[in-house]
């Protein structure tokens, strides 16, 4: 099968490429190709993908508030551009976020989005563009973590591994997902359509998360909580609820043990 990954150098994109390259013909596209309509169209037409995995994004909510044109391009306009180049039978899978919801609570796939920051708004717009084809699959994800080309994402985990002192937020509750899980789950869902949620059951603040990482990595880092406001409003304690009983996400502790083992 011919699989195209758009956003191949991001955290999720790197994991998708590694997984799908083992058994499929793969084309990797950097997100900057979305700036060149003619080049994008030519690449899609020449490769003629059967599946397109759209993981390109500007995923930092603070950056989205100050770089709105870039957020528009990667989070929704790029989806529109790709969709317009695809054959009707090509499968498009768009990776979205729990930030399409704005208030604390549990949200299943039928819940109506209500984003409160520009990142969430643009990702919801991306969903609307992708869903113009009824065969599209949207996979909403919570906070991702994993090995990255420059260390570990999020960065504070790598700082802990290096025994650096770390100050991290102790207000917002997140549900971290081990990025290594996502390509396998995506593979399971290739024939599906609509919206599917993927989330971990355990909610933690970054401070609580950092303490778990410090214990597993057994480092000398000093971890202290912060309570600073960010440029972008962030939803607190938004938990995605999945209708898919077969989806099993790695626990935070097991994921951190895997990260530590890969770094050591």
pTM of the model: 0.96
Residue 41 contacts residue 49 (beta carbons within 8 Å):
no
| Number of other residues whose CB lies within 10 A of the CB of residue 243 | 12
Rg of the chain over CA atoms, in angstroms? 18
Q: In degrees, to the nearest 5, what angle opens at C-alpha 247 toward C-alphas 245 and 250?
A: 130
Q: In degrees, to the nearest 5, what angle opens at C-alpha 29 toward C-alphas 27 and 35?
A: 145
| Number of other residues whose CB lies within 10 A of the CB of residue 162 | 14
Can you give the pLDDT of all 264 residues of the chain as single tens digits?
A: 999 999 999 999 999 999 999 999 999 999 999 999 999 999 999 999 999 999 999 999 999 999 999 999 999 999 999 999 999 999 999 999 999 998 889 999 999 999 999 999 999 999 999 999 999 999 999 999 999 876 789 999 999 999 999 999 999 999 999 999 999 999 999 999 999 999 999 999 999 999 999 999 999 999 999 987 777 888 889 999 999 888 989 999 999 999 999 988
Q: What is the pLDDT of residue 144?
A: 97
In angstroms, rounded to a whole number, what is the distance separating the alpha carbons of residues 208 and 211?
5
Length of the chain: 264
Spell out the domains of the chain, with CATH numbers in brackets: 2-263 (3.40.50.720)
Q: What is the pLDDT of residue 210?
A: 98
């Amino acid at each position: 099968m011919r699989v195209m990954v758009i956003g191949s150098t991001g955290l999720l994109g790197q994991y998708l490429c590694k997984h799908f390259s083992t058994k499929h013909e793969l084309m990797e596209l950097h997100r900057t190709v979305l700036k060149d309509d003619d080049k994008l169209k030519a690449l899609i037409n020449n490769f003629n993908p059967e599946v397109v995995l759209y993981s390109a994004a500007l995923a930092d909510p603070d950056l989205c508030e100050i770089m709105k044109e870039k957020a528009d391009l990667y989070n929704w306009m790029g989806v529109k551009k790709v969709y317009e180049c695809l054959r009707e039978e090509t499968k498009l899978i768009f990776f979205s976020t729990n930030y399409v919801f704005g208030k604390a609570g549990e949200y299943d796939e039928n819940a109506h989005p209500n984003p409160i920051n520009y990142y969430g708004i643009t990702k919801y717009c991306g969903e609307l563009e992708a869903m113009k084809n009824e065969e599209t699959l949207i996979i909403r994800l919570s906070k991702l973590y994993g090995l990255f080309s420059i260390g570990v994402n999020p960065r504070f985990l790598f700082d802990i591994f290096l025994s650096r002192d770390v100050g991290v937020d102790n207000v917002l509750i997140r549900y971290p997902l081990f990025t290594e899980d996502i390509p396998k789950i995506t593979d399971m869902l290739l024939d599906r359509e609509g919206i599917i949620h993927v989330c971990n059951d355990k909610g933690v603040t970054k401070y609580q998360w950092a303490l778990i990482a410090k214990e597993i990595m057994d480092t000398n880092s000093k971890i202290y909580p912060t309570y600073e406001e960010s440029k972008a409003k962030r939803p607190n304690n938004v938990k995605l609820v999945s209708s898919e009983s077969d989806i099993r996400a790695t626990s935070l502790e097991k994921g951190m043990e895997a990260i530590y083992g890969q770094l050591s």
